[in-house]
Structure 1
């Protein structure tokens, strides 16, 4: 039987937005559950502050599904910021975010068989995000844990340019990797969505958000490109 899969939403997103992905995985035979975040749960993390409240909810979900399925490992899917949050969760270093008095450590890498990141900006030039991402990349560069399979999925959909229709993509890419004139999913550029040493995948035509139309990473067709790694 396939390992259970936990889905961690992206920044400022709720778990409800991932219900369709969760159901698609279940129909394919993969037990799946989404961390039941609400949009307001992200408020304490705004302005580059500690992401510990989100990681605590992730940890509670993982422990619950491990017990329910009577298993010792899970697969973890992190969308957008959920991908680099998952890398903190795997780690053994004390994490103390801005504005946090106490430090936390989860050491979850032994219980995660595969980490799949969807449109995750693994680097950032944006000052509020950079503190957390610098922590991740300094302590856990690339596909850091050899006992975890890392799969990083990027979208090739919009080329960033300073003109109508691609200005948002240009600005987001510029803020993420320092180069606006590049390909990405409309929010995250390809070069920021991949990690050294990971299984890096590019899917054409997908947009960043689960609320995007007509297709995002978790839509039925793009799903086929990465779901095999949950086996």
Structure 2
């Protein structure tokens, strides 16, 4: 199995996930990427297509595809026989894996599991919405739409429902999904605290509970809007649920799951690779 990282993440962020998978008998290789490596993407600023919103993945992301290629080769060397590998792509790593398959072929790949991946480009013509990928996701969905390599490749797309976003000036009370381990909320002052902490706090009161996460959900909603064009939707705190699924894939939605391993240390904020969560998608790996 080979793991592809999300935008801005580095190899070490996935050490715990790697250990958990290996404990379950899987051979795991993680693509070697450091945080400074992502600065290479700044070369896209020199491409006029960046400014017109029609940017293509290559050559800007060739460095990343080379890391995937090396990781796949390493993964195959670690097992006996000529076995295919399963790709696990977190966040942007999921759609980057789709581009990799389109550009370099699928001979070595049997499964793609995407975790909290923004697969779809934002809709056009919505005021205040700017395609953060500058056309990359348009390219992906034109060149390799949906689960285009199925049935040769199995697509498993996992989305999280951690918090529902809200419009910035909405009067609605925000919502948060229970994790089974607890839930994180934001107080009126914007401080992140657990429900259990709020319950035990001397300063806690019913009004604070009723208004919990109001500020946070509006900030999250603005992020969701940039991804899918709508603020008041459920998502994992970064990627809306609706953007993380693909046509033709086995689409899975997990309640109470946060987007990233960074910031997921609190037991009330599990991410896709946390114990008790990864069991929902591990069975789909080779």
Aligned length: 213
Q: CA deviation at 1:128?
A: 4.0
Kindly name which structure, 1 or 2, has the bigger radius of gyration based on alpha carbons.
Answer: 2
- Deviations 1:58-109, CA, capped at 9 Å, x for gaps: 1111112212324331000000000000000111xxxxxxxxxxxxx311x1
For structure 1, the 5+ residue unaligned runs are 92-104
Q: Identify which of 42, 45, 60 aligns with 2:70.
A: 60
Q: CA RMSD in A?
A: 1.4
Alpha-carbon distance in structure 1 between the residues aligned to 2:223 and 2:61: 21
* Residue 233 of structure 2 is aligned to residue 182 of structure 1: yes
- CA–CA separation in structure 2 for the residues paired with 1:128 and 1:11: 12
Deviation at residue 118 of structure 1 after TM alignment: 0.2
Superposition TM-score, scaled by structure 1 size: 0.88
For residues 161 and 132 of structure 2, what CA distance do their matches in structure 1 show?
26
1:152 alignment partner, one of 153, 157, 178: 157
> Is residue 225 from structure 1 mapped to residue 280 from structure 2 by the alignment?
yes
Gaps of 5+ in 2: 123-129, 169-213
Q: 1:137: which partner in 2?
A: 141
Q: Which has the higher contact order (CA 8 A, sep 6+)?
A: 2
**Misfit runs of 4+, over 6 Å:** none
TM norm structure 2:
0.72
CA distance in 2, matches of 1:154, 1:224: 14
**Structure 2 Cα separation of the partners of residues 179 and 81 of structure 1:** 20
- The alignment partner of 1:164 has SS state of helix
Q: Distance in 2 between matches of 1:75 and 1:111?
A: 9
- Which of 12, 27, 33 aligns to 1:16? It is 12
